[in-house]
Amino acid sequence: MVNKLNMKNIASAYSILIGLSMFGMWSMFWITGNIPELETEPIRIVMHLTAEFVTAVLLIVGGIALLRGWRYGINLFQVSMGMLIYTLIQSPGYFAEQGEFVFVVMFTIFFLIAFMLLVWSFRKPEKFRCLK
């Protein structure tokens, strides 16, 4: 039987999708040689990439934990959404400086969705109830 679409399922899917997308985006940039900072600012970009990949992992694990109803799922989801919100505020500046405003718009939309889901998880925790 198909579960009805609810906020917990939407939040879980968003978290997993964004986490996988972060891996995909950075992998694509790496493979195509589009991370010039690896040559010009290697320490800074490695630290940035570490933060991005930790965020992606926590988004995926948090989304799965929330979807599966694990007791710590809501907490991990909220932490990972906070990390995502930080990166969605910080990252558009780089693309704006490059004149790539499509990325700025995309990050703004992702930010609004993440912020809405995070606020919803605090205001309506019963919608995210985890039982296991």
pLDDT of residue 131: 56
pLDDT of residue 30: 93
Show me where the domains of the chain are located.
Answer: 7-31+43-128
Angle (CA) 120-72-74 rounded to 5° is 10
In tens, the pLDDT along 35-45 reads 999 999 999 99
> pTM for the whole thing?
0.89
Instruction: Kindly give, in sequence order, each residue whose CB lies less than 8 Å from that of residue 8, ignoring residues fewer than 6 positions away.
Output: 66, 67, 127, 128, 129
Report percent pLDDT > 70 for the chain.
93
In tens, the pLDDT along 13-28 reads 999 999 999 999 999 9
Instruction: Kindly give, in sequence order, each residue whose CB lies less than 8 Å from that of residue 11, ignoring residues fewer than 6 positions away.
Output: 63, 66, 77, 117, 120, 121, 128
pLDDT of residue 1: 38
Q: Are 114 and 81 in contact (CB under 8 A)?
A: yes
